[in-house]
Amino acid sequence: MQRDINMLESIRNGGRRVVDRLSRLGFSPPIIFLLVCLAISPLFVKNQYVLRLLVVSLYFGILAMAFDFTGGFINAVNFGYAGFVGLGSYTSALLAVYTGINPWLGLLIAMGITALVGFFTGLLTLPLRGIYVSLMSWFVGMTLMALANALVEVTRGARGLIVPPIHEPDSILFHLYVLLTLLIVIYLVLRLIINSHIGLAFKAIGQNYDAACASGVNPTRYKLFNFTLSCACAGLLGGYFAHFVGIVTPDVMGMGYTMEVMALSYIGGSGSLLGGVFASFLLIPLFDSLKKLMEYRLIIYGLLLILVMIFYPAGMNGLYLQLKQKIFQKKGTPQ
């Protein structure tokens, strides 16, 4: 009898320890629950359109997360994000069309090249402060778009490049699971980095630059690492999405997409990583299901971004934390 209770106790303790450890990795119970829901959703949802929406939401969610990794942590906003995404798309598409190498290898190359361009953009601008990197990445993004437009012989310019599917047969479920895996892997990597001493340096740099320098943090190296990683994610995602959509046009590098990703990440809550993913799952299906809203999509994004910036910088993540605090206060358990 006594032993049973002891065992129950130790199982409970062990369970709590597992939950604790997972939470520290960023996978708190509600997040695991939602991820599992997403993973088993194809069992209940047979509608292709809905599944496609989930895939698109995942894609923008991951982009918003990777964007937030720089924007929310080291306070350097990558203003040419769509350009970097598009660079990944074009690299992987051109490789698939002209060389016919394995598209998965192509994805890795796309990721590498985008990371490289990000690295050099960062290398040249990150030693300087704040706004400089934003301006520069804006110009770099625009240059990439202008190049995609101008290199008509290679990219077919505005007519767009047809991209073969990455996997035969091309099924939406496949894309859903690949992107879900990407979400979990990228989230885990980013969270591990943020939990390590590197993350502490990020926070120091983002919150008080001068104090960070004074306490011996070399800001440029950390910022460069952060920026490059975020660009690598953009390249990987962009490369994959080109295969999913089946066509790349220079438009994918336009300011509108940067705005969309940026708005999602700020609406979700700057510095929360997953906030952008939630915002994406909330807003993208909403806009898509109400076709009438499509025309006003960017207006709404822009307005939401402006409102969040002025009145509620914590975003959806802040809302969630406030709510959680209230619930725990009522129960009387300190959190």
Residues of this chain that interact with another protein (CB under 8 A) are 75, 77, 79, 124-125, 128-132, 134-136, 139-140, 142-143, 146-147, 149-150, 152, 157, 255-256, 259, 262-263, 266, 295-299, 301-303, 305-306, 309-311, 313
Q: Shortest approach of another protein to residue 122 CB, angstroms?
A: 12
Specify burial of residue 177 (Cβ count, 10 A radius: 0-12, 13-18, 19+).
middle
Q: Give backbone dihedrals phi and psi of 161, rounded to 5 degrees, phi first.
A: -110, 130
Identity of the residue, 142 or 192, whose beta carbon is nearer to another protein in the bound complex: 142
Identity of the residue, 30 or 130, whose beta carbon is nearer to another protein in the bound complex: 130
| Angle at alpha carbon of residue 283, lines to 277 and 286, rounded to 5° | 140
Q: Shortest approach of another protein to residue 218 CB, angstroms?
A: 16
Please, are residues 158 and 147 in contact by the beta-carbon 8 Å criterion? no
Q: Shortest approach of another protein to residue 52 CB, angstroms?
A: 24
Q: Shortest approach of another protein to residue 300 CB, angstroms?
A: 9
Identity of the residue, 14 or 127, whose beta carbon is nearer to another protein in the bound complex: 127
Identity of the residue, 256 or 285, whose beta carbon is nearer to another protein in the bound complex: 256
CB atoms within 10 A of CB 314: 16
Residues 258-292, buried b or exposed e (16+ Cβ, 10 A)?
bbbbbbbbbbbbbbbbbbbbbbbbebbeebbeeee
Q: Shortest approach of another protein to residue 156 CB, angstroms?
A: 13
CA distance 47 to 291: 18
Identity of the residue, 286 or 299, whose beta carbon is nearer to another protein in the bound complex: 299
Integer-rounded Cα radius of gyration of the chain: 21
